Amino acid sequence: MKKTRFLAVLLVLCGLGLAYFDFASESKHFAILDKVNISPKASLQKFSLKLGLDLQGGTHLVYKANTSKLVGTGATEVNTSMNSLRDVIERRVNLFGVAEPLVQVEQSSAFTEGGQQQRLIVELPGVTDVQKAVAMIGATPILEFKVERPKAEMDAITKAKEDYQKLALEAQKNGTKVDQSKINPLALEDVYASTELTGQFLKKSSLDLSQFGEPKVALEFNAQGKDLFAKITKENVGKTVAIYLDGSPISAPRVNEEIDSGNAVISGSFTVDEAKTLVGRLNSGALPVSIELLSTQSVGSSLGGEAYSSILLAGLYGFLIVALFMLLWYRFPGLIATISLSIYAAIMIAIFKTLPVTMTAAGIAGFILTIGMAVDANILIFARMKEELAKGRGIHDAILEGFARAWTSIRDSNLSTIISAVILFWFGTSMIKGFALVLGIGVLVSMFTALTVTRTLLLAIGVDGDSKFTKFLFGSGAKN
């Protein structure tokens, strides 16, 4: 009994800890924090719930990728090209400073009009101007080759960047912002200087393997690029030449000798996948496959905010009504089930934050649905308990037998739901996948809370009397 009670206390404390984590990392969405004296923690803000466009506003774009020229080379080539396409589009979006964009590849169902298609889904939170979003995706990426600055300049820039990092760390420690007047302008400079050689002179790049099986990336320039590259390599033997794509460095190979053939090789400690990714990035001056805009959808921030508030309110009311029903109908076991349900909610929200799961209206609907399913498991258990009590068993034995008899029904019903969730996730669109993921996780967690948390809390009470009051507490409905 001591071990059971210790475990029960531990489960409740873990539930309280998770609830604190859920609130403290989500202060911007819960005004109640001011009333319960839970102050937001800066270190936990990275675990804030990630909301979909339907809840925060933004633009949703769907593109169809033309992979007809790749079909003959097999599914691997199609997947590689689509991943490269996603990589290119994601960098283009990031260049515009969009917070937490979502770019994902999706294969439509074979039963859709036009047959099975490779699609690219782009979600841009906070960007409600559809034309701006489309222009952002369609912008041409910038591929640049840069060289090291003179040593004195590089040392000065490096020193300025180190000083800036110290200022940033100190400001973060003190909870303040960096004093702009103390920042050396050199901290914003690049240690590499631009050259005339850009992606417009790159003919193509490809993946090769050395005689020892090590992957390397081959570059081929056109005639003008050949001359520019020869000049750059001649002047920078023994130094590095950095390759930038959309303003970000993707490689900085060292020049061993002048290269005047118009062909170059980037070698290093690559894996094959890393080399493939680099090739895709280098070739992204033109997209790996052509894309066609299928649909656009813009959601205003006020509409998204209203939807989020309404869903949260509906979830809260639903939880309270279910808790009230359990308390009135199942009395003391109902109270235990309500505590277990609260722990379930805390676990689920913590999982959403740490995975993280992007919450949409469909996802929250799935979460609310699983709350009802979690209660359903408790109802099956309590019904079995009541049957055992009616046979004259003691409360302790009735609890054990009730859980044992209810297990098969709970297992079978939840297993069928998990199978449905897997099918929906495998074949569904992005919105359906969000619902299916939340539903699947919810079913697994609800089984844990119903069969472990509820059982442990009931057994920890240690009630096994035969008085009228005890029978009333463990009775149900209008009668004992």
Structural domains of the chain, count: 2
- Is the same domain home to 43 and 122? no
* Tens-place pLDDT, residues 313-337: 877 888 888 889 888 888 888 898 8
Q: Which of 269, 299, 329 is the last residue of a domain?
A: 299
- Is the same domain home to 322 and 427? yes
- Is the same domain home to 257 and 348? no
- Given a cut of 50, whether residue 253 has pLDDT beyond it is yes
% the chain with pLDDT above 70: 84
Which tokens is 192 given? 């590499």
Please give the model's pTM, rounded to 2 decimal places.
0.61
Read off the pLDDT band of 146 (50, 70, 90).
very high
- Is the same domain home to 273 and 316? no
Task: State residue 386's pLDDT score.
Answer: 83
- Given a cut of 80, whether residue 95 has pLDDT beyond it is no
Q: Which of 299, 325, 345 is the last residue of a domain?
A: 299
In a domain, 158, yes or no: no
* Tens-place pLDDT, residues 371-426: 888 888 888 888 888 888 888 888 888 888 888 888 898 889 889 999 999 998 88
- Given a cut of 80, whether residue 456 has pLDDT beyond it is yes
Cα 359 from Cα 461, distance rounded (Å): 37
Domain CATH code at residue 366: 1.20.1640.10
Task: Report whether 130 contacts 298 (CB < 8 A).
Answer: yes
In a domain, 480, yes or no: no
* Tens-place pLDDT, residues 203-226: 888 888 877 788 888 888 888 889
- Is the same domain home to 273 and 390? no
- Is the same domain home to 378 and 447? yes
- Is the same domain home to 290 and 304? no
Task: State residue 69's pLDDT score.
Answer: 63
Which are the contacts of 115, defined by CB distance < 8 A and separation ≥ 6? none
- Is the same domain home to 111 and 198? yes
- Is the same domain home to 362 and 428? yes
- Is the same domain home to 199 and 277? yes
Structural domain including 24 reads 2-50+300-473
In a domain, 80, yes or no: yes
Q: Cβ-count burial of 81 within 10 angstroms (0-12 exposed, 13-18 middle, 19+ buried)?
A: buried
In a domain, 356, yes or no: yes
Task: State residue 31's pLDDT score.
Answer: 47
Task: Report whether 202 contacts 221 (CB < 8 A).
Answer: yes
For range 99-110, the mean pLDDT: 73
Q: Which of 299, 324, 347 is the last residue of a domain?
A: 299
* Tens-place pLDDT, residues 418-429: 999 999 888 776
